[in-house]
Amino acid sequence: MNDQEFDTALVAAAFSLGAEAGWRKVSPAAAARHAGLDLPRARSRFACTASILKKFGQLADAAALTGALEDGPVRDRLFDILLRRFDFLQTHRQGVLALMKFLPACPPLAFCLAELNIVSMGWLLEGAGVPSTGLRGALAKRGLLLVWAYGAKAWAQDETEDLTATMAAVDKALTRADSLAARFTPAAGKAPRSEVEEAEEHSPEAPPAVE
């Protein structure tokens, strides 16, 4: 078993244990025992429970990025990549639901997961061809995280096999995000007006426009 296989097995064991016994019982050591994995190797690969969540996020991102749309509108690419990530979560559904239930009782782990999700949103944006660097990138990551959170709330209650409710929620959230972004984005090819120009336009002494 190579390192990637070992990490995947331990993460799967952690989410299985979380589903069965609750996340208070989850740790790298407990997950290793649950799956019959080598304990010293688990120690060298996973420092704490947060490192399990970090690896889970990396695996989810890889699943979302693999085979994602490369053409078409950005909105369609984001929709596709987000749904691919939910498809990965679906394979560990009960463990993820148990984690979501546990997080309010463990603020440090919740904060850690929020930071990890910001990183993941950057990768999903890049996968859809949207830069995630700089101030605009930081805002885009947080905006996409809101879309993801809205979709995750629907996913937690979605019992359909094809995740119909989740798809509808993600579509709705992306539509709202598009609408909000349009309010703060100047029209293409139109330079922002200066205060002087606007003052002259509304001044009663302004001369008539010359045609």
Q: Which residue carries 């302004």 as its tokens? A: 206
Is 192 exposed, middle or buried, given 0-12, 13-18 or 19+ CB atoms closer than 10 A? exposed
> Are the C-beta atoms of residues 10 and 31 closer than 8 Å to each other?
yes
| One-letter identity of residue 67 | G
User: Average per-residue pLDDT in the chain?
Assistant: 88
Q: How confident is the model at residue 141 (pLDDT cuts 50, 70, 90)?
A: very high
Beta strands, E only, 56-195: none
- Count of beta carbons in the 10 Å neighbourhood of residue 210: 4
The two three-digit tokens of residue 188, written as one number: 């293409």
Tell whether the model's pLDDT for residue 192 goes beyond 50: no
Give residue 55's pLDDT: 98
Tell whether the model's pLDDT for residue 186 goes beyond 60: no
Distance separating alpha carbons of residues 123 and 68, to the nearest angstrom: 12
Q: How confident is the model at residue 64 (pLDDT cuts 50, 70, 90)?
A: very high
Give residue 178's pLDDT: 77
Residues 79-127 have pLDDT tens digits of: 999 999 999 999 999 999 999 999 999 999 999 999 999 999 999 999 9
Q: Could you tell me which CATH class the domain 50-181 is placed in?
A: mainly alpha
Residues 48-58 have pLDDT tens digits of: 999 999 999 99
Q: Which residue carries 């904060």 as its tokens? A: 111
Decide: pTM greater than 0.75: yes
